[in-house]
Amino acid sequence: MKTEKLIVLGTGNAMVTEYYNTCFAIKSGKEYFMVDAGGGNGILRQLKKASVNPAHIHHLFITHGHTDHVLGVVWLIRQIASMMLDQKYKGTFKIYCHDELIKTVVTICDLTLQKKLTALFGSRILLVPVQDGQTEK
């Protein structure tokens, strides 16, 4: 039986300066399911401090569109997409969020990331819409 482990990557709110914004990962075996990604590139430091290898993050759930939950997503996409292009990431990276938030993530990435990275949207980086009250097994 697999044992899951909760890894808290941040606990602060949008205005904190001493802590990273709220986000966490659930480890099952070698894989991680992340919830939110905080507010900036500090997510990469938090992952490193927690010994979470981005090559083993294949699922991300974004709870809502506030900056302290979504801006770190850009940095996570940048890291994972770069690893994909360097053949250091296997499979797909699925990002689950409300359909309006998909537009936000794509727009921010299109404005800030290299085209070779955003070109992976739809093939290896999949944005999966979820609806209020939806359940999955």
Q: Which two three-digit tokens encode residue 20?
A: 């990273």
Rounded Cα gap, residues 117 and 99, in angstroms? 21
Contact 4, 25 (CB under 8 A): no
Q: Which residues are catalytic?
A: 68
**35: helix, strand or coil:** strand
Burial of 109: CB neighbours in 10 Å, binned 0-12, 13-18, 19+: buried
**In sequence order, what are the residues at sequence separation of 6 or more whose Cβ sits closer than 8 angstroms to the Cβ of residue 11?**
19, 20, 22
